[in-house]
Amino acid sequence: AQTVTQSQPEMSVQEAETVTLSCTYDTSENNYYLFWYKQPPSRQMILVIRQEAYKQQNATENRFSVNFQKAAKSFSLKISDSQLGDTAMYFCALGGGADGLTFGKGTHLIIQP
Amino acid sequence: GAVVSQHPSWVICKSGTSVKIECRSLDFQATTMFWYRQFPKQSLMLMATSNEGSKATYEQGVEKDKFLINHASLTLSTLTVTSAHPEDSSFYICSARGGLAGVGTDTQYFGPGTRLTVL
C-alpha cells in the first residue's frame, strides 16, 4: 500500500517570505509521479507542480519548486516570494498514470500580510 | 486547457433518495476518470476508478451497489449515490486523466466538486 505523510498541519509566514512544505511517501513502485495540489477555500483542486520519479532534476514552476530526494522518499515544496493568494490547503499526492492518487492529510498554509 | 466540470455543484436530498453527479472533461478526452470523497477538514480519499466502456474498480470499503459509476463516453462519467443516508453527506470530487496529445496522461485534472447534503 502507498502512503503519503505531511507532518505540518498548519504553517504561517509573512508575505514575500519563502516557505517549505514537507512530504514523505512510501511506495513499492519503481515508476511513479508525485504532485502538489493546492485547494483554496473554493475547494477546487489546482495542480501546483509535478515530478516524475525517474527524473533526477527537481521540477520548478515559477515561484514553486520541489526538493525531490528519491532515496529518502521525500518530496518537499518550496514557495518563494509568497503571496496572499498562496493561502490554501496544500496536498502532496502520489500516483499518476492509470492509478488513482494517494493524498497526504494536507498542510494549511497561511500567508500573513 | 484540461478543464473538468461537475454538475451539480451542490445538492440537498432526502434520506432514501438517489442522487446523480456528472463529471465532464470539456476540452479533452479522458481515458480514465476517478471519484474521490472529502470530509470536512480532511484529505481526499479515492473511491473508484472508471475507464470508458468498462466496469468501475472500487477501493476497499466502498460499496459498489451504493455508489454506482457509469463511464459512458470519453468525456462523461456519472456517480449515483443510491438510497442516500445522512452519513453519505460529503464533498465528492471527480478527476480526469488525459490520454491524447496535448494533455499529459500522468496528471489528473480535477472538477470543482459537488457538496451533497442528505437530510
* Alpha carbon of A43: minimum distance to chain B alpha carbons (Å): 7
A100 interaction partners in chain B (CB closer than 8 Å): 34, 36, 46, 49, 59
Q: Mean pLDDT, to the nearest integer, of A45-53?
A: 93
pLDDT one-digit tens code per residue, B48-65: 999 888 889 999 999 999
Residue recorded with cell 460499496: B63
Q: Do A105 and B42 touch (CB under 8 A)?
A: yes
A52 interaction partners in chain B (CB closer than 8 Å): 106
Report percent pLDDT > 70 for chain A: 99
Buried b (16+ CB within 10 A) or exposed e, A62-85: eebbbebeeeebebbbbbeebeee
**Residue B103 pLDDT exceeds 80:** no
Helix ranges, B1-119 (H): none
* Alpha carbon of A104: minimum distance to chain B alpha carbons (Å): 7
Report the residue from A46, A101, A106 with minimal CB separation from B46.
A101
pLDDT one-digit tens code per residue, A52-68: 999 889 999 999 999 99
| CA gap B77, B4 in Å, rounded | 11
Q: Mean pLDDT, to the nearest integer, of B78-91?
A: 96
Q: Is pLDDT larger for residue B105 or for residue B73?
A: B73
* Alpha carbon of A55: minimum distance to chain B alpha carbons (Å): 14
pLDDT one-digit tens code per residue, A64-94: 999 999 999 999 999 999 999 999 999 999 9
A51 alpha carbon, distance to own chain's centre: 10
* Alpha carbon of A102: minimum distance to chain B alpha carbons (Å): 7
Select the residue from A43, A47, A55, A102 to test the B interface by mutation, using most B Cβ atoms within 10 A: A43
| Nearest chain A residue to B35, by CA | A100
pLDDT at B99: 58
Select the residue from B32, B93, B106, B109 to test the A interface by mutation, using most A Cβ atoms within 10 A: B106
What is the end-to-end Cα distance of chain A in Å, rounded? 41
Q: Which of A23-37, A54-68, B67-81, B91-105 has the lowest mean pLDDT?
A: B91-105
**Residue A98 pLDDT exceeds 90:** no
Report the residue from B32, B38, B110 with minimal CB separation from A98.
B32
Positive or negative: CA dihedral B84, B85, B88, B92: positive
Q: Do B34 and A101 touch (CB under 8 A)?
A: yes
| CA gap A94, A91 in Å, rounded | 10
Cα distances from B53 to residues A44, B32, B71, B73, in angstroms, run: 27, 10, 6, 7
**Residue B30 pLDDT exceeds 90:** no
Query: pLDDT band for position B105 (50/70/90)?
Result: low
CB of A97 within 8 A of CB of A47? no
